[in-house]
Structures are given as C-alpha cells and as structure tokens.
C-alpha cells in the first residue's frame, strides 16, 4: 500500500488555497474598469478535479484506481456580463458617457468563499487525524 | 507455515484496512470541490470476519482494495461534516487497536518473564 492520507489532504490544501486567491481577486476587482491591455476585467474561477491520469486508469484495469487526491485542471471565465454605469466624468467613460465594470456576482463569490474556507479547514482536520494515526502506529510494541 | 497467532494477524490486517480507509476518506474530502466525482471506499470487515474463521493463514493472505463508492453528479452537495466524522471514527478505531495490541504484547512480555 503506497497511499498516504497526509499527502492526499495536502493536495487539497494547495488547490483550495489557489481557489481562494481567485475569489479574492474577483472581489478585489469589482470596481476595476480596465486591466492592462485596455479590456474589462473578467471574473475567473478555478476548476479542479481528481488527480487521476487516464493511463493509470487503463493500466489498473477494472479495479478502482488508488486515490491520489485532487489537482487544478484549469481556469475558466465565470461570465462575460458587464455592468454599465453612466458617469461621463470618469476617465474610462466611452463616448456615450458610460463606464463598463465587470458584472461580478457578489453572492456567488461570497458563498464560494465560505465553502472554500470550510473545505480547507476540514482537510486540515483530516490531515491532523491521519497524522495522529501515523504517530499512534509508532506506539505499537512500546509498553 | 509460521503463522502469527490469530489475534495479532487479525489486528494487523485491521490496521491495514483502517489506514486504507483513511486514505479513501482523505481523497473523497480532497475532491469535495470536484464536479462529477466518483468516491472511493474500503470495505474490509466482512472479508476479515470470514477469513478469521478459517485461521491465521487465511487472514494473512487477505488483500484489501479500493472500491468504487458513490458517484456524484454536477450539483450534488457534499457532506463534508460526515466525511470528517467518519475520519475521526476511523482514527479512533485505529487508536483502540494499537492500544489493544500493546496490551497483548505486554501480556506476552510478562509471560516470557520480563518485567512490565
């Protein structure tokens, strides 16, 4: 057996940490009118999935593959919607006097934030439980 | 055949099974944010019970595998709390087994004339 629960929880801590950075970036850019290059900011979210290579699934045949935790699969744009505000004195206003802001779904970002923090914490809990188990194994035969 | 006593064989296999289950639970929790995820589980109690009726040799020959658990669809909610509870229970059972093994070994130690 070569599956380490502590290593598995560690992959999840990494992924959730990165997800948290994307959420923070979306919230921080709620009032950003343009990014480098002149375009409007697009909210992004992180996509993660189980860390299982297809080759390994084939190699192991019909048996269920050994678990290897999770990994980042990529980044996707959450939505291309924009919020247009009439503000002719803004330096980024267009010729009709409208400023374009990204349409960030505040409630969605906040629920994702709470969910991510919860999952991060519970992974930490399981990690410390697994660590305790490993330490207990060292007590075998000690009297 | 130099089989260990049945108690020790069963206990050490149970420790194997429990630590595999811990890995499965850690994996299911690590994938709490993965859309469309196939959970894994480890069921070893029944196999261990059947093998222990046949003697220590059968117990030592046992091999446990990861099994396919529940398949989650895109919008299914994940019960993170239940996963943590299962992990805590697994760790507690592991601890209890280690404790029992320690007791058993100190009894043998005493029988061999050692002190404590």
pLDDT digits (tens, 9 = 90+) for A85-116: 898 898 888 889 898 889 888 899 999 999 99
Q: What is the pLDDT of residue B75?
A: 81
C-beta atoms of B83 and A122 within 8 A = yes
Report how many domains make up chain A: 1
Mean pLDDT value of segment B53-80: 87
Q: What is the pLDDT of residue A115?
A: 93
Q: What is the pLDDT of residue B76?
A: 84
Q: How far apart (Å, rounded) are the C-alpha atoms in residues B76 and A99?
A: 39
Q: What are B's interface residues with A at a Cβ cutoff of 8 A?
A: 15-16, 18-20, 22-35, 37-38, 40, 65-68, 80-81, 83-84, 87-88, 90-91, 94-95, 98, 101-102, 105-106, 109, 116
Q: Which of A61-70, A109-118, B29-38, B77-86 has the lowest mean pLDDT?
A: A61-70
The phi and psi torsions of A67 (rounded to 5 degrees) equal -75, 140
Q: How far apart (Å, rounded) are the C-alpha atoms in residues A20 and A120?
A: 10
Residue B115: inside a domain: no
Which is more confidently placed, B113 or B17? B17
Residue A103: inside a domain: yes
Taking the Cβ of residue A23 and every Cβ of chain B, the question of whether any pair is shorter than 8 Å is answered with no
C-beta atoms of A49 and B35 within 8 A = yes
Q: 3-class DSSP state for residue B64?
A: coil
Structure tokens at B114: 């050692």
pTM over 0.90: no
Mean pLDDT value of segment B92-114: 88
Residue B113: inside a domain: no
Chain position carrying tokens 């299962």: B86
Residue A47: inside a domain: yes
| Structural domain harbouring A83 | 5-137
Which residues of chain B lie closer than 8 angstroms to A16, CB-CB? 33
Residue A143: inside a domain: no
Residue A122: inside a domain: yes
Residue B114: inside a domain: no
Q: What is the pLDDT of residue A39?
A: 79
Q: What is the pLDDT of residue A93?
A: 85
Residue B77 has pLDDT above 60, yes or no: yes
| Structural domain harbouring B78 | 6-108
Exposed e or buried b for every residue in B62-84, given b needs 16+ CB within 10 A?
bebebeebeebeeeeebebeebb
Q: Which regions in chain A score pLDDT beneath 70? A: 1-2, 53-64, 143
Structure tokens at A10: 């560690």
Q: What is the pLDDT of residue A1?
A: 44
Residue A20: inside a domain: yes
Residue A142: inside a domain: no
Q: What is the pLDDT of residue B36?
A: 84
Report how many domains make up chain B: 1
Which residue in A15, A135, A86 sits closest to B32, CA to CA? A15
Residue A94: inside a domain: yes
Chain B: nearest CA to A50, how far in angstroms? Answer: 6
Residue B1: inside a domain: no
- This complex has an ipTM of 0.85
């Amino acid at each position: 057996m070569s599956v380490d629960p502590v290593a598995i929880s560690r992959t999840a801590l990494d992924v959730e940490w990165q997800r948290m950075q994307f959420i923070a970036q979306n919230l921080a850019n709620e009032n950003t009118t343009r990014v480098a290059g002149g375009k409007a900011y697009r909210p992004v979210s992180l996509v993660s999935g189980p860390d299982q290579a297809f080759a390994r699934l084939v190699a192991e045949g019909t048996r269920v593959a050994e678990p290897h935790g999770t990994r980042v699969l990529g980044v996707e744009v959450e939505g291309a919607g924009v919020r247009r505000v009439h503000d002719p004195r803004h330096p980024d206003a267009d010729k009709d006097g409208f400023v374009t802001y990204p349409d960030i779904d505040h409630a969605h970002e906040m629920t994702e934030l709470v969910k991510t923090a919860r999952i991060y914490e519970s992974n930490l809990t399981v990690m410390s439980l697994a660590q305790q188990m490993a330490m207990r194994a060292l007590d075998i035969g000690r009297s | 055949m130099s089989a260990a006593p049945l108690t020790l064989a069963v206990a050490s296999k149970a420790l194997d099974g429990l630590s595999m289950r811990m890995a499965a639970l850690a994996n299911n929790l690590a994938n709490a944010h993965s859309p469309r995820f196939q959970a894994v589980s480890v069921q070893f109690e029944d196999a261990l019970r059947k093998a222990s009726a046949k003697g220590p040799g059968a117990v030592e020959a046992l091999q446990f595998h990861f099994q396919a658990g529940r398949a989650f669809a895109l919008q299914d909610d994940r019960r993170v709390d239940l996963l943590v509870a299962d992990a805590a229970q697994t760790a507690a059972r592991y601890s209890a087994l280690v404790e029992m093994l320690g007791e058993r070994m100190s009894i043998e130690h005493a029988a061999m004339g050692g002190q404590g």
